Amino acid sequence: MTDLSRLSIDYDGRLYWDGKPVEVRRRISMSQAQVVGASIVAPFVVIGALASAIQGVVAAREFACQFGWSASACTLPGAVQPRHGYDIQA
Nearest to 69 by CA among 77, 60, 78: 60
Does residue 89 fall inside a structural domain? Answer: no
Please state the domain count of the chain: 1
Dihedral over alpha carbons 23, 26, 31, 37 (to 10 degrees) = -170
**Is residue 76 domain-resident?**
no
40-85 pLDDT, tens per residue? 999 999 999 999 999 999 898 888 888 877 777 676 655 555 566 6
Question: Which has the higher per-residue pLDDT, 26 or 9?
Answer: 9
Does pLDDT of 7 surpass 80?
yes
Q: What is the DSSP letter of 77?
A: T
Look at residue 4 and tell me if it is in a domain: no
Question: Does residue 40 lie in a domain region?
Answer: yes
79 lies in some domain: no
Residue 59 structural domain: 29-71
Evaluate whether 17 touches 6 at the Cβ level (below 8 Å).
yes
Residue 5 in domain: no
